[in-house]
Amino acid sequence: MHPLKILTRFVVLGLLSSCHVGGAQEAKPFAGLTVHAAPKPLPAGAITADWPHFLGPKHDATSPETKLLGTWPAGGPKKIWELNTGEGYACPVFSAGRLVYFHRVDGKETIDCLDPETGRRFWRFDYPVEYQDRYGFSPGPRSSAVIDGDRVYVAGVTALLHCLELKTGKLLWRRDLTADYKIPQYFFGYGPTPFVWKDRVIVNVGGKARDETAGTCVAAFDKLTGKTLWEVEDTWGASYASPIVAKIRGREVALVIAAGDSRPSAGGLLTIDPQTGKVHDRFPWRAKVYESVIAGTPLVVGDTRVYISETYEKGGTLLEFDENLKSKQLWTQRGFGLHWMMPLNIGGHLYGFAGRNPPDTEFKCLDVATGRIIWSDDTRFDENGRTASFFRASLLQADGRVFCLGEDGLFAEFGLTPKGAVTKQRVRLFRATSTWTLPALHRGLLYVVHNERDTLSGAPARLICYDFRGE
Q: What are the tens digits of pLDDT across the range 353-373? A: 999 999 889 999 999 999 999
Share of the chain above pLDDT 90, in %: 89
- Please tell me the predicted confidence (pLDDT) of residue 212: 63
Q: Is the pLDDT of residue 5 over 90?
A: no
For residue 362, what are the CA distances in angstroms to 305, 345, 366? Answer: 25, 17, 12
Q: Helix, strand, coil shares of the chain as percentages rounded to 5?
A: 5, 45, 55
- What domains sit in the chain, N to C, each tagged with a CATH number? 4-467 (2.130.10.10)
In the chain, the N- to C-terminal Cα span, in Å, equals: 56
* Alpha carbon distance 400, 63 (integer Å): 10
123-136 average pLDDT score: 94
Q: What is the DSSP letter of 14?
A: G
pLDDT band at 185 (very low <50, low <70, confident <90, very high): confident
Q: Is the pLDDT of residue 121 over 60?
A: yes
442-461 average pLDDT score: 97
- Please tell me the predicted confidence (pLDDT) of residue 149: 98
- Please tell me the predicted confidence (pLDDT) of residue 214: 83
323-349 average pLDDT score: 97
Q: Which of 100-104, 181-185, 325-329 has the lowest mean pLDDT?
A: 181-185
* Alpha carbon distance 389, 373 (integer Å): 20
Residue 114: which of 65, 161, 162, 166 has the closest Cα? 166
Query: How high does pLDDT run on average in the chain?
Result: 94
> For the chain, what is the total number of helices (H) and then of strands (E)?
1, 39
Question: Three-class SS string for 41-89?
Answer: CCCCCCCCCCECCCCCCCCCCEECCCCECCCCCCCCCCEEEEEECCECC
* Alpha carbon distance 421, 293 (integer Å): 29
- Please tell me the predicted confidence (pLDDT) of residue 21: 54
- Enter the pTM of the model: 0.94
CA atoms within 13 A on the CB side of 394: 25
